[in-house]
Structure 1
Amino acid sequence: MTIFDTAPPKGTVRDWLDSQAEVGGAAIAYKFTDGTAPLSWCDMRDRARNMARYLTELGLTKGESLAVMMPNGKPALEALFASLYGGFRVTMINLAAGNDAIRYALEHSEARYAFVGKAQQDQFSETRSNLVAALPDIPSETRLAQLHSLDPGDDALLMYTSGTTGRPKGVVHSHSSLLAGGWTTATAHALTPADCGYCVLPICHINGLCVSVMGSLISQSQLLVAPKFSTSRFWSDIDTGAATWFSVVPTIISHLLHGAKDPNESIKARLRFGRSASSALAPDVQTAFEARFDVPIVETMGMTETAAQMLSNPLPPGLRKIGSPGLALGNEVAILRQDLSLADSDEQGEIAIRGPNVMKEYLKNPAATQAAFTPDGWLLSGDLGHKDTDGYVYVTGRLKELIIKGGENIAPREVDEALYAHADVVEAAAFARPCSTYGERVEAAVTLKPGSTLTSEDLIKICITRLGVFKAPDYVHLIGELPKGPSGKIQRLKLAEIVKIYATTMPE
């Protein structure tokens, strides 16, 4: 099996793990920054197979949910592949989602068993129902149970969305769409067995799971896994682990840019690229990062519903367009008008996706599933944007996050980018606040680098210069840290609630 096929991968995750073990054998597949012994392809296949047989003996039926409540590391990877190998619907629990969301996911998924990390035992006890039990450590001896038969269309993954505007939705992927998610990544970034990815994003998030884990499986390349992102250890881990690429989010890129450490020359000689996804990367931040570190950043875009990547800029020396997450590769991406007709070049509309990496459904929610798709099969992303004449997509913002001031649409990203233009700004996000005069007004929240003397008034002046008075924020809140989801994506819709203390002092 090879990533250089023009068609998406065939088979199941079990097929691919078997194949990579046969070809790769004792070659190292997974390395860990916490000092845990590495796993070869055969190690991972054998461990996944034996654990899957144990789970089958336990009475788990094909396609039933099996929860994983663990941080990044060797046990989490083994649990992930054991679940997929056995034909169960692996249900990745977002440890940062809060107890209410975790409780909902465990109940809604109807999982009877869960892999639970040692540090997560108390949280599991607080969120579990009487219907779900923690699995014991699974012994390593060989078991002979007959595994369930498996087809590409069978359920493979259940992952819950962030649920910022209501109950989380459970996104269901098949083996086929999960593998396609890894294939789009491996193909776009030309991954080969000579590569080693650096995974700092949680694998309970679609970026960490599909981009890093599935991309490495499809390309038979190594993966260096860290428990979590660390500014102080980022470059040294890449050096020690001999990583050739990494996948992060814009907030991580900004924190590295404002950090004290630089990669050494051996890192820069080995590191092919860094990959940014999950939210828009401000052009000024990308330009400053590349200028300081001499590492090209490839901006991409993906969704939980598309098994991560749906757009990517080309690798150097291909044309990377700063401010765009790139071109469609492995799937189709269109811009649709409100009547669902195709928009022209440079015409704004809703970004829609169609292809082998698109989800099967929202679990137990046929109404939401139907609403997510057009009659001719396009998945509606909820993002606004346009395509240029070269096919590069530009994202304006989320439909639900648009600021409508006096009847005019203002994209929060415009304000974000104006704020990021100042070198002292580490994190920035604009958002809407109610206003009796205009209906909504523009405000923003910003985190500054330590020691900065910038004021709210300074930042407003910068925005006025770049955007004009109408689009500039009426107030900029300086706070210690902006709220973020498990992948590091800033949760814009939570900001108004966090800064509501200012409501009584703000003029109308």
Structure 2
Amino acid sequence: MDNRGTLQDLIEARASDNAVRPFLIDADTGQSLDYAALLTEVRAVADYVSSQGIKRGQSVAYAMHNGRCCAVTVLGLLYGGYRAVAINLVAGRDVIAYVLSHSESILILTQSEHESLIRDAVNSEAFESACEPLAEETERIRPSVLSVDDVWIDSLLAKSSAGSSEGAAESKREGTSPESMQTGNDSDALLMYTSGTTGRPKGVVLSHGNLIAGGINIAEGHELSDKDRALCVLPLYHINGLCVTIMGPLVSAGSVVVPGKFSTSGFWEWVDRYQCSWFSVVPTQISYLLRDAEQNVERTFLRFGRSASAPLSPAMHANFEKRFGIPMIETMGLTETAAQILSNPMPPAVRKLGSPGLPVGDEVRIVDSQLNDMPQGQEGELLIKGANVMSRYFRNETATREAMVAGDWFRTGDLGCMDDEGYLFITGRLKELIIKGGENIAPREIDDVLYQHADVVEAAAFARPCDNFGQRVEAAVSVKDNSTVTEAQLLELCVERVGAFKCPDRIHFMAELPKGPSGKIQRKKLLELLT
């Protein structure tokens, strides 16, 4: 399979060739959608968005936890040719406000339990301050917020069914109308934000071709077929959840089980009840599964587990395979590459612990600071080139130029080396991002919050290695003489501004933070000094 065409083409092809084959099972409700039903539901969502006067190519955000409603909504936006904007629900209000403003979202589809957070973000000062003119003489319109659920989707289907035969025929023709054909392989499909070193999230634009190529990399790298069934326990606002466990099955005509959220108590029950043949998790979840380990059960239907989004420690890797008797395939991917770029091969081929494996569907280079190729075994920056690599950073030409170099090679910011068999080993990062549980956190974002307290003189967040999350956030501050501010007060401020997930686990008080000759705080020295 190639990545030509659009998500509309792919979904319609699946509904035509695999109409009664199951595609999605909602683990919370037990409801199952075959490919024919999927097409009907995503078309209904796309038609609804069109009825609101939103044009193809414009931004529509989704802020939802997993399930049938979320999956159908996202695929409906992609099917309709809209730019689907993923909203990370664990981000703080101010970050969400920035993303909603910067993305030029016109409509936000959310769920009742998240509606208050989304409305607060839209009505916050952070949203106003992030607003920039869209074009000359164009006024910024505050996006509307709509709470949706399975009942909403059912109501769209009922309205469609209740229409006249003429109306139904017209609705069916909308999917292939001349207007819809303006959506092409290179058209914007997904806008997903990832943290940058400046603290301002960067919007990664992935085209229809990028997403399909990402799904192909998954299907080919893991030898997926129409008999495979995935368990999706990562949120669909995360590139791993969306591109790996939704796009992978979609391009291979397989199926996926989608519970509302990850649960160690429910994980193996879902695997067994729905006979899942594979799953994708992050190292944090592997740690939790080991912590709450059940009695070992032989599962001949379960082919493999897959780890990504953060480095998997060799010890944890080995412990998981020994405990559960399941091959764990370590991989590596980025939001900018529609997920997977590297993967260890499937058994019985060699899998190397501590390595995310070999290139799958991409070309790779290890280069020096001048972009010259490094000799085998020597460390340099990892560059990627392939059909899955993003089209651009949204409204950020400078960042795009810096990231895309020398003929569409993408600079990952990761340092690594390649062994004599072509396996990659990641040794560090050029940038100072903290990677907690597979999520990128910019230290500067934490710094800025701490500096908002009147008593804080200096502040710097940094990463500390962590068995559960790969890395955890800590911070160091120096405060004014005679200040009475406490660690608890600063932590409360962080939770309020950036959310509990990004909040430091600890805040250390120092007389003065370490600085270099230029007076710049040396963030990397903090871990050494505070060990």
Q: Tell me, what secondary structure is at the counterpart of 2:237?
A: coil
Write the distance in 1 (CA, Å) between the matches of 2:203 and 2:240: 16
- Cα 1:160/1:221, change in 2 over 3 Å: same
Q: Tell me, what secondary structure is at the counterpart of 1:61?
A: coil
Task: List runs of 5+ in structure 2 lacking aligned partners.
Answer: 124-140, 161-167, 437-442, 444-459, 469-499, 513-528
Residues 151-209 of structure 1: CA deviation (Å, up to 9, x unaligned)? 11111000000346411000001000010000000100011111100000001000000
Counterpart pick for 2:360 among 329, 337, 342: 329
Q: Compute the displacement of 1:128 (Å).
A: 1.7
Residues 219-253 of structure 1: CA deviation (Å, up to 9, x unaligned)? 01010111111111111111111100000001111
Match of 1:258 in 2: 291
Normalising by structure 2, report the TM-score: 0.76
Q: Does 1:82 align with 2:76?
A: yes
* Correspondence list, 1:48-447, <5 A: 48-129=42-123, 131-135=142-146, 137=152, 139-140=156-157, 141-142=159-160, 144-145=170-171, 146-147=174-175, 148-149=180-181, 150-163=183-196, 165-265=198-298, 268-401=299-432, 444=464, 446=466
Q: Is the 8 A contact 1:197 1:244 kept in 2?
A: yes
Q: Is the 8 A contact 2:119 2:145 kept in 1?
A: no
Q: Compute the displacement of 1:320 (Å).
A: 0.5
Q: Is the 8 A contact 2:107 2:145 kept in 1?
A: yes
Residues 410-457 of structure 1: CA deviation (Å, up to 9, x unaligned)? xx99xx9xxxxxxxxxxxxxx9xxxxxxxx9x9846568xxxxxxxxx
Counterpart pick for 1:17 among 11, 14, 33: 11
Write the distance in 2 (CA, Å) between the matches of 1:380 and 1:329: 17
Q: Tell me, what secondary structure is at the counterpart of 2:65?
A: coil
- Cα 1:211/1:81, change in 2 over 3 Å: same
- Cα 1:102/1:330, change in 2 over 3 Å: same
Match of 1:463 in 2: none
Normalising by structure 1, report the TM-score: 0.79
Q: Tell me, what secondary structure is at the counterpart of 1:233?
A: helix
Q: Is the 8 A contact 1:345 1:386 kept in 2?
A: yes
Q: Compute the displacement of 1:81 (Å).
A: 1.1
Q: Tell me, what secondary structure is at the counterpart of 1:167?
A: coil
Counterpart pick for 2:507 among 489, 500, 504: 500
Residues 237-289 of structure 1: CA deviation (Å, up to 9, x unaligned)? 11111100000001111111121314522xx2111000000011000110111
Q: Is the 8 A contact 1:97 1:162 kept in 2?
A: no
Q: Tell me, what secondary structure is at the counterpart of 2:105?
A: coil
Q: Tell me, what secondary structure is at the counterpart of 1:298?
A: strand
- Cα 1:16/1:445, change in 2 over 3 Å: closer
Write the distance in 1 (CA, Å) between the matches of 2:97 and 2:228: 38
Q: Compute the displacement of 1:97 (Å).
A: 1.0
Q: Is the 8 A contact 2:231 2:256 kept in 1?
A: yes
Write the distance in 2 (CA, Å) between the matches of 1:447 and 1:348: 25
* Residues matched between the structures, number: 425
Q: Is the 8 A contact 1:235 1:263 kept in 2?
A: no
Write the distance in 1 (CA, Å) between the matches of 2:296 and 2:186: 43
Q: Compute the displacement of 1:331 (Å).
A: 0.9
Q: Tell me, what secondary structure is at the counterpart of 1:229?
A: coil
- Cα 1:17/1:385, change in 2 over 3 Å: same
- Cα 1:384/1:212, change in 2 over 3 Å: same
Q: Compute the displacement of 1:498 (Å).
A: 3.9
Q: Compute the displacement of 1:292 (Å).
A: 1.1
Q: Is the 8 A contact 1:116 1:135 kept in 2?
A: yes
Q: Is the 8 A contact 1:157 1:173 kept in 2?
A: yes
Paired AA for residue 112 in structure 2: K
Write the distance in 2 (CA, Å) between the matches of 1:83 and 1:306: 20
Residues 267-323 of structure 1: CA deviation (Å, up to 9, x unaligned)? x21110000000110001101111111011000000000000000000000110111
- Cα 1:106/1:443, change in 2 over 3 Å: closer
Q: Compute the displacement of 1:329 (Å).
A: 1.2
Write the distance in 1 (CA, Å) between the matches of 2:407 and 2:203: 23
RMSD of aligned C-alpha atoms? 2.7
Write the distance in 2 (CA, Å) between the matches of 1:89 and 1:289: 39
Write the distance in 2 (CA, Å) between the matches of 1:12 and 1:176: 7
